[in-house]
Structure 1
Amino acid sequence: MKRILVFTALLTVSSLLKAQTVVYTSNGNEMMSELSFKKERDIIKKKFSKIFNKEMFVGTKIKKTERRNDSIIHFISFDVKDKKSKKSKMESLLGKEFSNFKFKDITGKEISLESLKGKPTLINFWFTKCPPCIDEMPHLNKLKKKYNNSMNFISMTYENKDAVNKFLSKKEFNFKHIVDVKEFTDKLEIESFPLNVFLDENLKIKVLESGLPYQRVNGKMVIKSADSFEDIIKTLNIK
């Protein structure tokens, strides 16, 4: 199964708002004209095609649309994949209970879907050589520290225990780790990483997000915060 690095890029090029103009933004402050948006999409496509030495495909996700004065504003992100997008199995499960499971975590403690009931849950699907997965870890750790008593924080990977332990000896990732679950990720047809699955307290899938969004800072693409994930968490009936 192909492992696809999902890159979610924030749009940070400004343009003046004009009457009845359609603009694109990541945060409601910095705007991009349609022409600038298309140029940015082409830049991202070329950059990642070069990195992975094959043609990459750029998909645009419109998260919401607003009207402000005389402008139509699309809040968007880019997903970069190595094949054309199609509706995933996980997307078809939105609003339904997450697939049942019973595994042991990396410490040998049993974790089942039923054991998560009663609290909202964030399940992060990742692997050790996925740069966007690694980039978002410090921000996920902050969320875990802040909401640890109110939520479950679980990670799942198809990689084995040795590979994950070696990674964790160098990088901090403070979720409960479930490893060696290739059969489970294949069953769910998870091919894009990272994938963050937000469950409500009744184990229903409420939101699917790829990686935390990137922003261009001093010519580099970096993750600045986990604000978008925290906004999701606040809708999950945290107690």
Structure 2
Amino acid sequence: MAWVSGALLADAQAAPKTINFQFTDVNGKSIRLSDYKGRWVLVNFWAPWCPLCWEEVPELNDLNKRQDFVVIGVGLDYGPEANIVPETARRHNLNFEAIVAGGSRRNPESPFRQVGPVDFYPTSYLYDPNGEIVMFIPGQIKVKRILAFMDTWRQIHSVK
């Protein structure tokens, strides 16, 4: 892994290149990474009690409006009541592609572990249009850095 512009890039030798995660969102819809082939996917982990998570919501909502981008929000560590996840998402105006109630980050059986570890909130993982994990973002996102990374990636891969 390597630090680039304040984000940790996934090293192809250190981590699997592709992970086809599958979640069920709060509306019962199945969400698979493969459903978004050709688009950038940011999986953003948050907790209802995390004030830093709510500061980045406007930028995440803006990213999700892009035609080439999808944001999937995974709420974790919310206690015994899963209904707090959609309620919190509404209260903080999360306008993401999907909202998922992921359970506890300490539960080894939690489906979010398909994506990667979450040691604190917020934490995000960015997947390129081929479904390969390309960035691990511990802490708040910086949209300018993500967009700059996307531009560089397109140049390297000759994609417009």
Global fold match (TM > 0.5):
yes
- Establish whether residue 195 from structure 1 lines up as the match of residue 123 from structure 2: yes
| Displacement after TM superposition at 1:180 (Å) | 2.8
Structure 2 alignment gaps of length 5 or more: 8-12, 105-109
Taking CA–CA contacts closer than 8 Å with sequence separation of 6 or more, which of the two structures ends up with the larger relative contact order?
A: 2
Query: Retained in 1: the 8 A contact 2:22–2:31?
Result: yes
* Aligned pair partner of 1:154 in 56, 64, 72: 72
Give the structure 2 partner of residue 164 of structure 1. 85
**Are positions 1:122 and 2:42 aligned together?**
yes
Larger Rg: 1
* Partner Cα separation in structure 2 for residue 236 and residue 127 of structure 1: 30
Matches of 2:3 and 2:23 in 1, distance apart? 35
The 3-state SS of whatever aligns with 2:99 is strand
| Cα distance change, pair 204–62 in 1 and its aligned pair in 2 (3 A) | closer
Q: Which residue of 1 aligns with 2:107?
A: none
Which residue matches 1:227?
A: 144
Letter of the structure 1 residue corresponding to residue 69 of structure 2: M
CA distance in 2, matches of 1:151, 1:168: 19
Name the CA distance, whole Å, in 2 between partners of 1:205 and 1:163. Answer: 29
The one-letter amino acid paired with 2:50 is C
Task: State the 1:102 CA deviation.
Answer: 2.2
**Inter-CA distance 177–236: structure 2 relative to 1 (3 Å threshold):** farther
Flag the 1:173–1:233 CA change in 2: closer, same or farther, 3 A. farther
Cα RMSD after superposing both structures: 2.9
Q: Please state whether the residue corresponding to 2:91 is helix, strand or coil.
A: coil
Task: Tell whether the 8 Å contact from 1:156 to 1:181 is kept in structure 2 after alignment.
Answer: no
- Measured after TM superposition, the shift of residue 236 of structure 1 is 4.6
Q: Percent identity?
A: 25
How far the C-alpha of 1:126 sits from its partner, in A, is 1.1
Unaligned runs of 5+ in 1: 1-60, 65-75, 78-90, 214-224
Which structure features the higher share of strand residues? 1
Tell me the equivalent position of 2:111: 184
Letter in 2 for 1:141: N
List per-residue Cα deviations over 1:24-54 (Å, max 9, x = no partner): xxxxxxxxxxxxxxxxxxxxxxxxxxxxxxx
Give TM-score scaled by structure 1 length. Answer: 0.50
- CA deviation map 1:71-102 (0-9, x unaligned): xxxxx69xxxxxxxxxxxxx942x6113x332
